[in-house]
Structure 1
């Protein structure tokens, strides 16, 4: 017995010794300060019109917030903040260019301005008495359309005249008064006319005079007016040829919004924040109207003939006792995209159940649709550049008025396509197991510029490619993320570049293959540079289903290694954090450096559902959050135990938002793997989250309760065995504080006592105050040190 006790005591002595030896120059208080201590790092680069100055967001003066700075290419070392007067002079609200970008329209107060790009000289075209928007050059470029007070107008640059081209009223259509008399009034009038001849004669004379006047006007029709019956038309636009106007009409849902109490309002009173509704509520409906200006008539786009409009989703087979009605699904329709000459138009349509995206040509004379491309996904439509109706995405026309371009996940990865409108032929311009981001046409319309992950899922590079497809030329070469802004003359690249352990800096490069990028900023503080920030290794481990799961691995100095491990779970679900650039989770990154200094091994996983790896990875959590995304965390721990000397009895995990949700599911459903966890601002019941995100993945609670039941932590709370810390902001308008309140009551009713809660009265979903960050992470570190290192 004495020998056994000595053997058991030795590991404890070793752990205590390692704890005493494992020190770090970092501390939670140090790294969770106002981020200004790290330095100042550029973002959002753009160019002056003459391509001689780069503008970017920066904070060289340590102001309360970032400001707009400039750097002239002729004075590369001279970075200066724009004055208020300079910013006002450079503002171009609602700017729009003509086809060759020689002219620019913009709005200044209630003036429509025209700027000649070669000279920089602006002139006032009109001073309008009301607010206006959406000013655009028409196809002939001599005329300019704009919207004001629910109608469209056209300004002629030659005649300097403005004409109203639509007649839309938000009022109700006047009722026909000729047949509005009730039965009693009609009887009295008839009786009166029968008795009084003079009155009868006068009435007949009035009728003849009225008919004469109408005939004298050559039977001209009254001015056509379209009445919207109290609804405001939005997205008004005129076709470039001036023949059609289009607009959208929204029917808002009457969903009940949730209330978040603010207990620390400056007034001293508790105030209610009126926030979002919950998943499963009735979505807003939208119609797109076509105003035929030649025929003075309005009609609406019809979606009833879309292929598969009545298709039921596959999951209905899980509910054999329910009768599913075959009916047209609700859809959301984008504003039409007109060809440059205005003779053709396409529209992007997304089904409300998120299973379909149609791109269709519009018959402008009838409103009927001809489907050009249908993308169906039994999970949900998404991916880089893939818009569902008004959600944006890559979609437009080539200058030939013949081809349209768009992105699709048809192959499992988001790629760029062309489609010939004359024959329906579709051509993939890019292909492979990588994704395409933000493609745009060159100034001469002969080339594409685009960013892709072709080199590696963890890198982003900028390319050039012929407009009809062909070899892509890789223009950037720095390993990491290259966020490029192309100069207007297309000779230079302004690059916001970062690497795993190097925050963003601004670089300049010639727009040539093989050109070397020149660093223009150096924003790291001396204090930040004094620490040797770790470059985490990117690894892949095998999941239980054979998938290769990417992860960032932080390993400690062997002399400090304590055998414990922490798994970090990133938030947002659809987000990538295993990459070779500076993470948006920079506080967590610094915390992982601290943990590694203290002897912990840290693993940061791009679990199923994460961005950057194509459609199958993205949809791996469909109808079961807490399924493969959780088993990937468990398999990550198995990898650490097998390959990095981690003690399977000393593993914790933590994360915020979606990461907090996974932490709860891990402690409830994988308690044999995880001894402790910190769930930050976590979703506890998906039926209480928002519609836009949740309905994609789990459908709706009314139609697919199975998915919600197996995906919501609150149903598995009885499985809690380890040590749980929950932390939540009380004014969180994204994941409401109500989530953890309901789960806490569940713990109380279950008699659980191995949990604690930390609340932050002034914080929303994303914490702001350094004191809150510090308090939260001190508690997280204390949890791990006390449960994973101490007996």
Structure 2
């Protein structure tokens, strides 16, 4: 018996060891499901289904990204994948060729870099190597390679050298001869409070008198003092022959966060962030499904109102190592200068500053010798200043800069003359101008604008002196573009409401026909007819016309159920005539239409694209005016579309999930069912950068947080609720759902459920997770508002 047991144990041990030495077993069943799903993509599909829609980019097509010009203005490089490829890769296109080609896998594509003043050369960093590219020939040369990572590199003012920065300091390398010079050392530790190089002075008063008497009485003390003076004089003399490299140390309690070198190699602007003092408490996030099977915690972020840390901007003079701190723009407002930028000739330095309460922003001219500032443009907003404002760029090789500002209520292009310290508005009208880019000489500015319609992104050309604006492309749809280095062409990704993004190249001529370089959607997508949703306007209770997109079913279901979709982010536009970033939802809405549902997608108050007043209408109260637009939209569906009053559902993710909760909690009976995906349940637990803009500080304005947070209104739930959340969400923490779940339990609420996704974050990545989430949403609507 004992022999049999020993033999069995030996056999089991040998089998276990053999299994451990083999390759890990694959999740064969799950892999087979995914492979089977993708078989349908190669040809036409007779009936659209949820699993296919949730395949995402593989079905709809991948948007070309990371677009950059190459070979001067003679070609492009970009990131893209065909529908049948597993991952993205780099592609290249040369003007005049028939098609784009994959970049060789064994040769890394050069990253984005910085041009010289004439845009004849480009410098970029590859790990620990600085490389320059001749834009006329495309030839790339290594300039210097060091034993540490290089974080940035730029040309000097006359393109005779490259200036670059590492963790250890700032360097200059000549382009004409092998000469490398270190300009600044980043020292360890912190800066002493005494000014560096200050000569010791004899003490004054009683202490000084005693010091004089001591040297008069004692020879040794007298000799030490004389020897120290001679040593100091000798050191100063040596510096004239063998100059020391200046050393910069961050002041106590601060760490270096960014360095910008002047093109003349005379100064360095150093951005600093506070590290000492009271520490913000960071929330931990548990990760349950890990590679080794053990639960681990991940640090995420602090909550709104906690310590965000002071920021500071300092200027270092490279010849002496002298340091000055850039001053704040207003004596009665706490504001921190940041984002330094030098003119191409190094004569001017600009920076921006933003008030601690986000109600003021400044564009500044900085004197690098004194740290004094002059205000070029000041924006005050009683709500909060838009984050994209007063971020200036240089207008060619001039002393002027251009930026966007909402000073007149709409986002427009402004120009500031840094030398004259003046600014003026360049474009005018009740429309938005976004993403401006200037030609190399600064004569013209190209931008995306909405003069035709707030729902169409036109390409416009603006005279940089007069502001005269010409619409170059009126082909509808939407676009993002990249101006060529020579200023004669653009590369753009273009789309329509029912056509995904494609990359194309065109001359800057209103009559020029663009050449399309990509073909992204799968054959399955192309085999179907896709809707262009009609844009309608909902009459809100305050008399405002709120834009929306409507999907009308060909055969409405009895009872006429309807679903309202709420886009996320808050400040985002989704009612437009270009391809939506919510392309899975676009496909889901087609499925709902085919099932007999009407779908309405609203650009509620707080959305982008409609000016400053629309953006700030939610100040102090999220879930107020924005939610009222949805309550009004539900009534509009009943009155204008004949939808059933008790058959209206609502769903959305992130901010949209928050809105779904607020709708069910504060307007019971309006929405019979709602799905809140990755929702914010309590704004006091979200981040500071986004939340404090709109709701102020939680200790100063606690009522803003109480009335805006769903968890404080959970007692109002009467209808059906589904909550879906990724456990690894580092943006909107799943802890918020746990807290709301406990509140609903204690309130003894019914008809609610929660689904957690252990391996997903804020934006789901896997098609299986997307499918499971939207299957639950569809089943909720079918069960509650789609019933016979």
State whether TM-score is above 0.5: yes
Distance 1:760 1:296 in 2: 54
Give the structure 1 partner of residue 393 of structure 2: 395
- The alpha-carbon distance between structure 1 residues 25 and 151, as it changes in their structure 2 partners (threshold 3 A), is same
1:651 Cα shift?
0.9
Give the structure 1 partner of residue 26 of structure 2: none
- The alpha-carbon distance between structure 1 residues 668 and 478, as it changes in their structure 2 partners (threshold 3 A), is same
Distance 1:158 1:71 in 2: 31
Give the structure 2 partner of residue 83 of structure 1: 104
1:598 Cα shift?
1.3
Distance 1:209 1:510 in 2: 74
Give the structure 1 partner of residue 19 of structure 2: none
Q: Does the CA contact (< 8 Å) of 2:548 and 2:602 recur in 1? A: yes
CA RMSD in angstroms, aligned pairs only: 2.9
- The alpha-carbon distance between structure 1 residues 734 and 207, as it changes in their structure 2 partners (threshold 3 A), is closer
1:466 Cα shift?
2.0
- Please, which of 637, 650, 666 is the counterpart of residue 653 of structure 1? 650
Q: Does the CA contact (< 8 Å) of 2:71 and 2:136 recur in 1? A: no
TM-score, normalized by length of structure 2?
0.85
Distance 2:57 2:316 in 1: 53
- The alpha-carbon distance between structure 1 residues 136 and 561, as it changes in their structure 2 partners (threshold 3 A), is same
- The alpha-carbon distance between structure 1 residues 204 and 547, as it changes in their structure 2 partners (threshold 3 A), is same
Give the structure 1 partner of residue 457 of structure 2: 460
Write the mapping of 1:329-408 to structure 2, written as runs, cut at 5 A.
329=334, 331-382=335-386, 385-386=388-389, 393-401=391-399, 403-408=400-405
SS in 1 for 2:184: coil
1:589 Cα shift?
0.9
The answer to whether the aligner puts 1:64 opposite 2:62 as a matched pair is no
Q: Which runs of 5+ in 1 are unaligned?
A: 1-23, 180-185, 311-327, 388-392
How many pairs are equivalent? 721
Give the structure 1 partner of residue 707 of structure 2: 710
Q: Does the CA contact (< 8 Å) of 1:568 and 1:602 recur in 2? A: yes
Q: Which moved more, 1:112-121 or 1:562-571?
A: 112-121
Give the structure 1 partner of residue 125 of structure 2: 107
Q: Does the CA contact (< 8 Å) of 1:571 and 1:657 recur in 2? A: yes
Distance 2:484 2:394 in 1: 22
Kindly provide the CA deviation profile for residues 29-83 of structure 1, in whole angstroms up to 9, marking residues without a partner as x.
332235413455544443332444343332227332221223444342x443222
Kindly provide the CA deviation profile for residues 640-694 of structure 1, in whole angstroms up to 9, marking residues without a partner as x.
1111111212111111111111111111111131111111111111101111111
Distance 2:534 2:404 in 1: 32
- The alpha-carbon distance between structure 1 residues 216 and 273, as it changes in their structure 2 partners (threshold 3 A), is closer
SS in 1 for 2:784: helix
- Please, which of 306, 315, 321 is the counterpart of residue 281 of structure 1? 306
SS in 1 for 2:293: coil
- The alpha-carbon distance between structure 1 residues 215 and 82, as it changes in their structure 2 partners (threshold 3 A), is closer
- Please, which of 464, 476, 481 is the counterpart of residue 478 of structure 2? 481
Distance 2:518 2:49 in 1: 28
Give the structure 1 partner of residue 269 of structure 2: 246
SS in 1 for 2:96: helix
Kindly provide the CA deviation profile for residues 187-226 of structure 1, in whole angstroms up to 9, marking residues without a partner as x.
xxx9xx99xx9xx766655555454444566777895654
Q: Does the CA contact (< 8 Å) of 2:348 and 2:418 recur in 1? A: no
Q: Which moved more, 1:622-631 or 1:477-486?
A: 477-486
- The alpha-carbon distance between structure 1 residues 399 and 59, as it changes in their structure 2 partners (threshold 3 A), is closer
Give the structure 2 partner of residue 624 of structure 1: 621
- Please, which of 548, 572, 577 is the counterpart of residue 575 of structure 1? 572
- The alpha-carbon distance between structure 1 residues 707 and 207, as it changes in their structure 2 partners (threshold 3 A), is closer
Give the structure 2 partner of residue 14 of structure 1: none
- Please, which of 167, 172, 179 is the counterpart of residue 161 of structure 1? 179
- The alpha-carbon distance between structure 1 residues 156 and 742, as it changes in their structure 2 partners (threshold 3 A), is same
TM-score, normalized by length of structure 1?
0.85
Kindly provide the CA deviation profile for residues 445-473 of structure 1, in whole angstroms up to 9, marking residues without a partner as x.
32112111222111112222222133323
Distance 2:380 2:593 in 1: 45
- The alpha-carbon distance between structure 1 residues 512 and 271, as it changes in their structure 2 partners (threshold 3 A), is same
Kindly provide the CA deviation profile for residues 543-569 of structure 1, in whole angstroms up to 9, marking residues without a partner as x.
111111010001112565641111111
Give the structure 2 partner of residue 440 of structure 1: 437
Give the structure 1 partner of residue 34 of structure 2: none
1:376 Cα shift?
0.7
Give the structure 1 partner of residue 286 of structure 2: 261
Give the structure 1 partner of residue 167 of structure 2: 149
Kindly provide the CA deviation profile for residues 103-122 of structure 1, in whole angstroms up to 9, marking residues without a partner as x.
22233453433433333334
